[in-house]
């Protein structure tokens, strides 16, 4: 069966520090991969998605970037975090756009 792993579960970072969140999927090949951010009490904001290695689509311009160095690995990065980057970051995968997305457990990021 397929599983999705996200780490770390929680992260506290100072303003201006770099960020790297990693997501990996097991049990499937060539998945679509997604990064979402969720502010407290708010909806799901799609940040990036990828339909293949090296293919990244950005939904919202900001100081974040994403990379997909391997088929089942998706990384979210920032060179300098802002206070507004705080939130709950969720990675998800699907077999294609018209199929269910399955979410990881998320990373709760606090910026101080």
Please give the residue ranges that form the binding site for other proteins (CB under 8 A). 32, 34, 42-44, 46, 49, 51, 57, 90, 94, 96-106
Largest Cα separation within the chain, whole Å, is 39
Q: Which is nearer to other proteins, 49 or 74 (CB)?
A: 49
- The nearest distance, CB 13 to other proteins, in angstroms, is 19
Q: Is the dihedral of CA 81, 83, 87, 92 positive or negative?
A: negative
Least Å distance between CB 10 and other proteins?
A: 11
Q: Are 109 and 89 in contact (CB under 8 A)?
A: yes
Query: Which of residues 42 and 80 has its CB atom nearest to other proteins in the complex?
Result: 42
- Considering beta carbons, is residue 1 or 98 the nearer one to other proteins? 98
Strands 32-38 and 45-52 turn out to be antiparallel
* Nearest distance in Å: CB 91, other proteins: 9
What is the distance in angstroms between the CA of the first residue and the CA of the last residue of the chain? 39
The two structure tokens encoding residue 34: 């997604």
Measured between alpha carbons, how far is 101 from 95 in angstroms, rounded to an integer?
Answer: 8
CB of 74 to other proteins, least distance (A): 14
Q: Between 17 and 30, name the residue whose CB sits nearer to other proteins.
A: 30
């Amino acid at each position: 069966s397929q599983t999705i792993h996200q780490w770390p579960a929680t992260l506290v970072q100072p303003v201006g520090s770099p960020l790297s969140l990693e997501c990996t999927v097991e049990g499937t090949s060539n998945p679509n991969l997604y990064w979402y951010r969720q502010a407290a009490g708010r909806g799901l904001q799609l940040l990036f998605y990828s339909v293949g290695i090296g293919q990244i689509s950005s939904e919202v311009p900001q100081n974040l970037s994403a990379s997909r160095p391997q088929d089942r690995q998706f990384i979210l990065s920032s060179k300098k975090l802002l206070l507004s980057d705080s939130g709950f970051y969720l990675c998800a995968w699907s077999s294609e756009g018209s199929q269910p997305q399955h979410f990881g457990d998320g990373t709760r990021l606090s910026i101080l």
